Each structure stands twice: as C-alpha cells, then as structure tokens.
Amino acid sequence: MRYTVVGAGAIGGTIGAYMQRAGESVQFVDAAADHVGRMQAAGLTIRGFDQTFTVQPVRAMLPGELDGPLEVVLLAVKAQDTRVAIESLLPWLTDASCVVSLQNGLCERTISELVGSDRTIGCFVNFSADYLEPGLIHYGGPGAFYLGELDGRQSDRVQRIAAAIGKWGPVRITDNIWGYLWGKLGYANMLFATAIVDADMADVIERYPELMVELAAEVYEVAALEGVKPEPFDAVEPSLYYPRAARDSDATSRAIAHLVKLRRADQKTRSGIWRDLAVRRRRTEVDQQIGLVAEIGVRHGLPMPLTSKLVQTIHHLERGCRERDWANVEELERLRQEIWV
C-alpha cells in the first residue's frame, strides 16, 4: 500500500519516518516550505527517546505539488485545518482510498462528512513528540495507538494499515474507536489545564488532582449522553472519574499518582498545547477538542462550567489578554470548589 502523510510534523513525521525506514512506500506533504525543503535536501531526522536516525531520500512536497491517485492518507494536520486539508485532497481520492486521522479530538466527524464514513478510519494516538525545527522531530516517548473502523466492524484494510504503522510500534485494533477518542478528550481537558501555567504537566496534575479528576469527569459525562463508553489507556481510566457517584477516591488517587509518575518519566515534560502557546505562539486546537465537547454538552443540557472556563482561559492566552500563571489554575480550582465542595 502507498501512504501519504499530510502534515509531517510531530506525529505524522515520526510515524512516517519509522514506516519509510522499514521499507514502506511513504510520501510527506507539509505546508511549511522550510520543513519540506530541509527534508528534500537532508532527509527527516527523528531524535528519539531511545535512538536517533535519519531517513533519506525523502519524497516531500508542498500541498499544491501533490497529485494522485492516493491510496492511504495519514492525516496529521492540526484539527482546525482538517476541512481545508481534506478538501484539497478530494480530487486525488478514489473509491478505494481511505483517510486515517492521526489527530486529536473528533476529526473523524469532519473527515467522514467530506469523504464518507466508508473511506474514513478512526485512529487514537497517544505518544509524545515535538516538531523542533525543519527536518528535525523529537520523539519523546511511546504510548498507546489504536485503529478502528468507525462502525466497529473488522476489516482487512485496517489489518494491513495496522501492520504498516506497526513499524513505528505496537498498534492495536479496536471495535470501539470512538471510546478511545472520547477517553483521550477527558485527558485532553487535563492537559489544556496544565498549559495555562509555565510548569511541567506532572507538577500541575500533582498539585491539583481533584481539579484534574473533575475536568475529565465533565467530558466523560458528555460521552455517556452521546452513548459512548470511554476506553482506558496509558494510566487514564475513565471509569474511575465518572460516574461521580461510583467514584472510589483511593483508586482515583492512585491513578492520578501513576499518571504523574508516567509524565515525569517522559522526555516531553510539557504538552503540545503549551508549546503552541509559549513557543510557536499560534492558535491551539481548543475549539476542536474541549470546546467542541463543551458545545455538545450544552446541547445535552449540561452546564460544563470547568471546561467552559478553561476554554475561555485558553482563548485569552491565545489573544495575549493574560499571562500563563498559576493564578489561571487557581481560578479553575476555586470554581471546582464552589461546585463540588
């Protein structure tokens, strides 16, 4: 099978490089001309937590240079760029093509709307990586990876794609891909909260464990109303957070402590969200991730107070209306106490 990585940054670049090194047919498409130029001239280097390597030559191009037909698209653009990216690919997709979302959030909704659910494959990615500079990506540590058809059926194409991406690391196939996507959204609510202060993820989670639990619980309550059972992954166990009435405080505390331990062992100590705000100074994916969850929750009649406040805070940081500071987290914590204490 021929693979086209669209968005050759942290996630797409890492996976594509491992696949090419193992002999898969891969081409890279990215909107950053300097990144494309560097890959063409000197290859793509992955500075990993356990090894560093360069793949070369790399077939890399700008979006306008792409032609088709395309077989398997590995879409790894920012969530807010999904629609534009897919619309640019439509002329090159055939009836046999498929798009795999290597993104955060519920991008499969947008993709399937544009190309059809039969040409969309759901994907859950939870390893850490950062784009450092043109041609160089830091792969900070492994994590869970799941693939699945949107309707939960088993298919030969998912098996083949899983085997190819498996050149990167363990890829599992699931009949509940939506459960993993919603499971990660609860965790994403925690990570957005860690990004509103200049501190490591582990430090923020350890300092405000009750807040982290309630942020996740708000998301999982929405998932329940959507008829989705969030799945556990990498020390995140949704059933420990929601339903609230069934919550075991000791078990939840142990889970948070384990999560903190994992984050301390990771070479990537701060989230991509923090990096967007502090380093790259660009919009985050907040509206397409927890912002979308808040909208869905409100449609179900849920107030979503913590998530809504967090979304507002991220917007203020994006616009430069406030600074990244512990006071931002304290505001959320006070709101939590008003509601739940």
Strand bridging mode 52-55 / 120-125: unpaired
To the nearest whole percent, how much of the chain has pLDDT over 70?
100
The answer on pLDDT for 38 being more than 90 is: yes
Return the pLDDT at 52. 97
Instruction: Walk across the sheet containing 128-133 and list its strands.
Output: 52-55, 44-48, 136-141, 128-133
Buried b (16+ CB within 10 A) or exposed e, 194-209: bbbbebbbbbbbbbbb
Domain ranges of the chain: 2-175, 179-340
Phi (first) and psi of residue 140, to 5 degrees: -85, -20
Q: Which amino acid is at 68?
A: G
Strand bridging mode 128-133 / 136-141: antiparallel
Pick the CATH number of 2-175 from 1.10.1660.10, 3.30.70.270, 3.40.50.720, 3.40.50.620: 3.40.50.720
Give the pLDDT band (50/70/90) at residue 340: confident
Look at 145 and 141; give whichever has higher pLDDT.
Answer: 145
Return the pLDDT at 268. 85
Return the pLDDT at 266. 83
Tens digit of pLDDT for each residue in 242-260?
Answer: 999 999 999 999 999 999 9
Return the pLDDT at 17. 98
Return the pLDDT at 116. 97
Give the pLDDT band (50/70/90) at residue 283: very high
Report helix, strand or coil for 3.
strand
Tens digit of pLDDT for each residue in 256-276?
Answer: 999 999 899 888 899 999 999
Give the length of the chain: 341
Domain 179-340 has CATH 1.10.1040.10: yes
Instruction: Walk across the sheet containing 70-75 and list its strands.
Output: 60-61, 25-29, 2-6, 70-75, 93-101, 120-125, 145-149, 172-173
Q: What gap in Å lies between CA 66 and CA 78, rounded to an integer? A: 19
Return the pLDDT at 265. 86
Give the pLDDT band (50/70/90) at residue 68: confident
Contact yes or no for 111/82 (Cβ under 8 A) = yes
Return the pLDDT at 141. 85
CB neighbour class for 51 (10 Å; exposed up to 12, middle 13-18, buried from 19):
exposed
Return the pLDDT at 311. 98
Fold match between 2-175 and 179-340? no
Supply the mean pLDDT for the chain. Answer: 96
The answer on pLDDT for 341 being more than 80 is: no
The answer on pLDDT for 337 being more than 90 is: yes
Report helix, strand or coil for 93.
strand
The answer on pLDDT for 290 being more than 80 is: yes
Look at 181 and 265; give whichever has higher pLDDT.
Answer: 181
Q: What gap in Å lies between CA 239 and CA 220, rounded to an integer? A: 9
The answer on pLDDT for 202 being more than 90 is: yes
Tens digit of pLDDT for each residue in 293-334?
Answer: 999 999 999 999 999 999 999 999 999 999 999 999 999 999
Tens digit of pLDDT for each residue in 161-180?
Answer: 999 999 999 999 999 999 99
